[in-house]
């Protein structure tokens, strides 16, 4: 790693100040992706601003609209334990990485990084969540801008994520055998006003909504409703672990399984 300093603010205001001090400063969530990146010397921050000591952005609650609101510095393990009001989300969190990673990794860190194979982006997009930052609220539909790209501005810090709780939902992940990230992961959520289907791991463009499937499921929320649908493998990731066509096929399989699991 290149040399850097670490700041451990205890309030959001301090953190914001640190982030504003230099464009070379970078937020540190649980570090489960950032630290391996730093080890490869792929990043050279001047300072890392650790967010995990800020109590005001940690924890889980429900707001007046019944949304499950998760502080950005909440670990995956805490979501597993505390997001019982949204079982599909808790289950997703419980299958990210491994237990030790779940004890450190945070939802804010995952969403800020927007790894194309990460699980949380599928949950956020599939739930139509709202990403709250120190400056504003961003709808999930406007937040994800492609692989490792988001709507966050330089220095902007995610503070909370608000998830509307669906009637039914499930996440199905088909794991890449080495990293255990999603080779394809599909989050399906049925709300009173429609169905959302978000796909991670598959596309060169990062997490995306499968609108044809959403329409079909809105009309008939059953795996059979997807029988006639297929995706093209053209813009899918093609690598050592599977071709674009294979991933496109898996999206169909995992979507059906998610619908079945959602019940």
Partner 1 sequence: MPQVKMTVNGKPASGEVEGRTLLVEFLRENLGLTGTHVGCDTSQCGACVVHVDGKAVKSCTMFAAEAEGSEVLTIEGVAAPDGTMDAVQQAFQDHHGLQCGFCTPGMVMSARALLADNPTPSEAEIRDYLEGNICRCTGYHNIVKAIMAASGQDVSTIAAQ
Partner 2 sequence: MPKDSGIGASSKRREDVRFLTGAGHYTDDIDLRGQAYVHFLRSDVAHGTLKNVDTSAAEGMPGVVRVFTGADFAEVGGLPCGWQITDREGNPMQEPAHPVLAQGKVRHVGDPIAAVVAETREQARDAAEAIEVDIDDLPAVVDMKAALKDGAPKVHDELTSNLCYDWGFVEENREAVDAAIKSAAHVTRLELRNNRLVANPMEPRVAVGDYSRSTGESTLYTTSQNPHVIRLLMGAFVLGIPEHKLRVVAPDVGGGFGSKIFHYAEEAFCTFAAKALNRPVKWTSSRSEAFITDAHGRDHVTTIELALDKDNNFVALRTETHANMGAYLSTFAPSVPTWLHGTLMAGNYKTPLIYVNVKAVFTNTVPVDAYRGAGRPEATFQLERVIDKAARELGVDPVELRRQNFITEFPYPTPVAVEYDTGDYNATLDKLLEIADLAGFEARLAESKKNGKLRGLGVNCYIEACGIAPSHLVGQLGARAGLYESATVRVNATGGLVVMTGSHSHGQGHETSFAQVVADMIGIDENMVEIVHGDTANTPMGMGTYGSRSLAVGGSAMVRATEKIIAKARKIAAHLMEASEADIELKNGQFSVAGTDKSVAWGDVTLAAYVPHNYPLEDIEPGLEETAFYDPANFTYPAGAYACEVELDPDTGKVTIEGFAAADDFGNVVNPMIVEGQVHGGLAQGIGQALLENCAYDEDGQLLSASYMDYAMPRADDVPFYRVDHSCQTPCTHNPLGVKGCGEAGAIGSPPAVVNAVIDALQRAGRDVTHIDMPLSPSRVWDAMNKG
Binding mask 122-161 for partner 1 (x = CB under 8 A): ----------------------------------------
Tokens of 35: 């630290």
Question: Pick from 47, 104, 168, 241: which binds partner 2 (CB under 8 A)?
Answer: 241
Question: Pick from 242, 255, 258, 259: which binds partner 2 (CB under 8 A)?
Answer: 242
Residue with the two structure tokens 């949304």: 67
Q: Is 147 in the site for partner 2 (CB under 8 A)?
A: no
DSSP string for residues in the chain: ----EEE--SSHHHHHHHHHH-TT-EEESS-TTHHHHHHTT----SEEEE-TT-GGG--EEE-TT--EEEETT-BHHHHHHH-TTSHHHHHHHTTSS-HHHHTT-BHHHHHHHT-TT-SHHHHHHHHT-EEEESS-EEEHHHHB-STT-BSPPTT--EEEEEEPPPSEEEEEEEEPTTT-SEEEEEEEEEETTEEEEEEESSBTT-SEE-HHHHHHHHH--SGGGGTT----STTB--BTTB-HHHHHHHHHHHHHHHHHHH-
Question: Pick from 147, 215, 218, 253: which binds partner 2 (CB under 8 A)?
Answer: 253
Question: Pick from 24, 98, 220, 234: which binds partner 1 (CB under 8 A)?
Answer: 98
Question: Pick from 167, 222, 230, 243: which binds partner 2 (CB under 8 A)?
Answer: 243
- The nearest distance, CB 39 to partner 2, in angstroms, is 8
Instruction: Compute φ and ψ for 9, nearest 5 degrees.
Output: -65, 155
Q: Is 240 in the site for partner 2 (CB under 8 A)?
A: yes
Residue 259, contacted partner among partner 2, partner 1, none, CB below 5-8 A by kind: none
Task: Select from 38-46, 65-73, 209-217, 244-252 the region that touches partner 1 (CB under 8 A).
Answer: 38-46
Closest CA to 149 of 106, 206, 73, 201: 206
Q: Is 97 in the site for partner 1 (CB under 8 A)?
A: yes
Q: Is 82 in the site for partner 1 (CB under 8 A)?
A: no
Residue 240, contacted partner among partner 1, partner 2, none, CB below 5-8 A by kind: partner 2
Binding mask 161-200 for partner 1 (x = CB under 8 A): ------------------xx--------------------
Question: Pick from 42, 65, 178, 192: which binds partner 2 (CB under 8 A)?
Answer: 178
Q: Is 35 in the site for partner 1 (CB under 8 A)?
A: yes
Question: Pick from 34, 170, 231, 250: which binds partner 2 (CB under 8 A)?
Answer: 250
- Tell me whether strands 47-50 and 26-28 are parallel, antiparallel or unpaired: parallel
Q: Which chain residues interact with partner 1 by CB under 8 A?
A: 1-6, 8, 31-32, 35-36, 38-40, 47-48, 50, 52, 77, 97-101, 103-104, 179-180
């Amino acid at each position: 790693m290149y040399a850097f300093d670490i700041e451990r603010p205890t309030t959001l205001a301090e953190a914001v100040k640190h982030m504003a001090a230099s464009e070379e400063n970078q937020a540190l969530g649980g570090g489960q992706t950032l630290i391996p990146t730093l080890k490869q010397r792929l990043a050279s921050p001047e300072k890392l601003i650790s967010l995990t000591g800020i109590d005001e952005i940690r924890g889980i609650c429900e707001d007046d609209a019944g949304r499950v609101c998760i502080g950005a510095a909440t670990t995956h393990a805490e979501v597993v334990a505390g997001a019982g009001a949204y079982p599909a989300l808790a289950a997703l969190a419980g299958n990210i990485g491994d237990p030790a990673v779940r004890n450190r990794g945070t939802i804010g860190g995952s969403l800020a990084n927007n790894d194309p194979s990460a699980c949380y982006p599928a949950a956020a997009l599939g739930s139509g969540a709202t990403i709250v930052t120190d400056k504003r609220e961003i709808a999930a539909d406007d937040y994800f801008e492609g692989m490792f790209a988001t709507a966050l501005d330089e220095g902007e810090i995610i503070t909370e994520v608000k998830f509307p709780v669906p009637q039914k939902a499930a996440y199905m992940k088909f794991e890449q055998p080495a990293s255990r990230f999603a080779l394809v992961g599909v989050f399906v959520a049925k709300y009173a006003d429609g169905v959302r289907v978000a796909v991670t791991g598959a596309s060169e463009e990062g997490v995306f909504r499968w609108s044809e499937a959403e329409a079909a499921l809105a009309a008939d929320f059953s795996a059979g409703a997807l029988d006639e649908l297929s995706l093209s493998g053209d813009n899918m990731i093609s690598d050592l672990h599977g071709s674009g066509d294979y991933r496109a096929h898996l999206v169909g399989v995992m979507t059906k399984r998610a619908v079945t699991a959602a019940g």
